[in-house]
Structure formats: structure tokens, C-alpha cells
Amino acid sequence: MAHEPSTACESMTAASVDAASDLSIRLDRAGECRLERQGTQLHQRRATELGDIMQRAGRLNAQRLTNQDYTPASVRRIECLERVSEQLGDLADARQLQRADAGPLPRPHEAFLHMIAARLRRIDGRAGLLPDQRAEHPRDYMRRTLLRSIDRLHRLGPPAMATRQRFCREPLHG
């Protein structure tokens, strides 16, 4: 009888070894299946992400091909600022030229003459008149009228003013 318990133990040990090996085989298969499922899910997820990226790239490429004027917003802003700075520079240059053309600032009591002369120049420029057809500066007209009056006074009697040269830049002929 002593021999029987040892066979029972041996049979139990052999059964437990078989069960353990079956269990390890099953665990290995379960681990393989789980790893396989995880790999498949990861592959599907990566394929989906790659598909999304490719779709976005395709849309952007199609937009660029159909719309050749496509530029990023930052580039458009920089170009707009460059245009504005060019326009500002042009306006500043035009203002400096305008100041240079105007010459020295007129005396306050002659300011209205300069304003009228500027308007006459603009009107003459738009009309396309020749230089000898253009309007006369009011200051020159007033000077000429004053000199005529002085000449008439000289013809009538003693000169009203001793020096008429201070009223004209060049001496009166005739």
C-alpha cells in the first residue's frame, strides 16, 4: 500500500504538470491573441491617422492648385504693411516736393494770394493750357496794376511816392 500512494502522488504530479503546461500553453496563446489584437488595433489607428493626414494634405494641395493666389495670413499681413509703408513714403516725398514748390512761407497778409494762386495753377493744369495762356499770379497782377497807377500819378503831377522801385522787382519799361 505504501506503493499506491506514491503512484497517486505521481499521477497527481503528472496531472498537475500536464495542467500547468496546458495552462502555460493557454496563457501563451491568450497573450499572443491579446498582443495580436493590440497590434491590429494599433495598426488600424495608425492607418486612420495617416489617412486623415493624407486627406488634409490632399485638400491643401487641391486648394493651392485651384487657387494660385493662396498665401498664408502672415505673408499677406507683411505684404500689406510693405504696401502701406511704400504709400506713406510716397506721400511724404510728395509733401516735401509740394513744400519745395511753395517756396518760403508767405507773410500772413499774403496768404490769401498764395491760396488763390495755387487754385489757379490747379485749374490751369487741368485745362491743359500753354504757359503763356495760364492765369497770372494775383500778386503779379496787383503789382502790375499798382505800377500803372503810379505811372498815371507821375503823368498827372509830382510823384506820389519817391521810390517806385520797391514795388517792383524789375524796372518798368514803356
Contact 124, 134 (CB under 8 A): yes
Give residue-wise pLDDT tens across range 23-43: 888 888 888 888 888 888 888
Task: Record the pTM.
Answer: 0.26
Domain segments of the chain: what residues? 1-41, 109-174
How far apart are the two ends of the chain, measured CA to CA in Å?
Answer: 168
User: How far is residue 7's CA from residue 152's CA, in Å, rounded to a whole number?
Assistant: 162
Give residue-wise pLDDT tens across range 73-132: 787 788 888 888 888 888 888 888 887 777 666 566 667 677 777 777 777 666 666 666
- Please report, to the nearest 10 degrees, the dihedral formed by the alpha carbons of residues 109, 115, 121, 122 taken in order: 180
User: How far is residue 91's CA from residue 103's CA, in Å, rounded to a whole number?
Assistant: 18
